[in-house]
């Protein structure tokens, strides 16, 4: 069974925001809401400052608090590939999953009333394609693949680099890894 994951190589991100546009176009995301975002993060004290770009999206955690807190089982973790998905017809829009996500990866689509988030473009994966953000990333900053396949791009990227997990202490076991431009302070 595949175990899909993403690696964000922050060194290669040029901040073109094409991933956001591609995601919005592919998934019909409302204009003021985002399934993925690129943050500019500045660290340090003046004049010793440094900025890095950080792409954020749903981490498809192996220990997902959004799934545990969903009262109607609308949020679920799919057994075959471990993707955290949403059964929209069961969603009551209670926002428990939005509050539960430590990564602020979810939002309520106010036009339709249900919670929404990145699906790793599940519909594209079924067709053998990469997620839209990965396919459009010109710097190859976003890398997608199957962790169980030793030849997959994610396995190769993780093999050659030290990667970090976001908010590791939360114990959510995310499936999005970060290769940082700068080391951890």
Partner 1 sequence: MELTITGANAMTNPVLHIWDWRVSLYLFLGGLSAGLAVMSSLMHLQKKEDRVPAGETVFMVAPWLVPVILGIGMFFIFLDLDRKLNVFWFYLTIQPLSPMSWGSWGLLLFTPICLLFAYGTMPEQRREWLYRLPFMDDLAKWIKPRIQLIALANAAMGVFIGIYTGVLLSAFVARPLWNTAILPVLFLCSAMSAGAALMIVLAKDQCVKLFYTKVDIGLIIAEMIIIPLFFYGQYVSSESQRLSIMPFFSLSHEYLWYTASLLFIGVVFPLALVMKLAEIKECHEGLSSSDILKMNLSAGLVLLGSLVIRLTFVYAGQLSKLV
Kindly tell me which of 139 and 153 has the beta carbon lying closer to partner 1: 139
Instruction: Give the containing element (helix H, strand E) for 112.
Output: none
Q: In angstroms, how far apart are the furthest CA atoms of the chain?
A: 52
Which of the stretches 5-13, 86-94, 128-136, 152-160 binds partner 1 when contact is defined by CB under 8 A?
Answer: 86-94
Q: Does 99 bind partner 1 (CB under 8 A)?
A: yes
Which of the stretches 5-13, 108-116, 152-160, 175-183 binds partner 1 when contact is defined by CB under 8 A?
Answer: 108-116
Residue 153: CB minimum distance to partner 1, A: 26
| Residue 134 CB-density burial (10 A; 0-12 exposed, 13-18 middle, 19+ buried) | buried
Output the DSSP codes for 66-122: HHHH-TTS-EEE-TTT--EEE-GGG-----HHHHH-TT---EE-TTT-SEE---S-H
Contact 128, 142 (CB under 8 A): no
Q: Within 14-121, where are the H helices?
A: 18-27, 65-69, 96-100
Binding residue (CB under 8 A) for partner 1 from 71, 129, 140, 148: 71
Q: Does 167 bind partner 1 (CB under 8 A)?
A: yes
Binding residue (CB under 8 A) for partner 1 from 52, 77, 114, 161: 114
Instruction: Give the containing element (helix H, strand E) for 168.
Output: none
Q: Does 74 bind partner 1 (CB under 8 A)?
A: yes
Q: Does 170 bind partner 1 (CB under 8 A)?
A: yes
Q: Does 107 bind partner 1 (CB under 8 A)?
A: yes
Residues that bind partner 1 (CB under 8 A): 15, 17, 20-21, 31-34, 37-40, 65, 68-74, 89-96, 98-104, 106-108, 110, 113-114, 167, 169-172
């Amino acid at each position: 069974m595949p175990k899909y994951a993403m690696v964000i190589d922050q060194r290669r991100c040029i901040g073109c925001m094409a991933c956001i546009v591609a995601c919005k176009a592919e998934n019909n995301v409302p204009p003021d809401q985002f399934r993925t975002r690129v943050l500019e993060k500045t660290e340090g004290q003046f004049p010793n400052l440094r900025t890095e770009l950080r792409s954020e999206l749903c981490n498809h955690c192996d220990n997902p608090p959004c799934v545990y807190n969903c009262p109607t089982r609308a949020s679920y973790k799919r057994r075959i590939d471990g993707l955290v998905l949403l059964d929209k017809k069961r969603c009551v829009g209670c926002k428990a999953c939005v509050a539960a996500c430590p990564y602020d990866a979810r939002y309520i689509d106010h036009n339709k009333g249900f919670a929404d988030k990145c699906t790793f473009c599940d519909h594209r994966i079924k067709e053998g394609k990469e997620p839209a953000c990965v396919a459009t990333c010109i710097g190859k900053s976003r890398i997608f693949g199957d962790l169980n396949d030793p030849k997959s791009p994610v396995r190769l990227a993780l093999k050659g680099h030290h990667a970090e997990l976001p908010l590791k202490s939360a114990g959510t076991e995310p499936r999005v890894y970060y290769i940082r431009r700068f080391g951890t302070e």
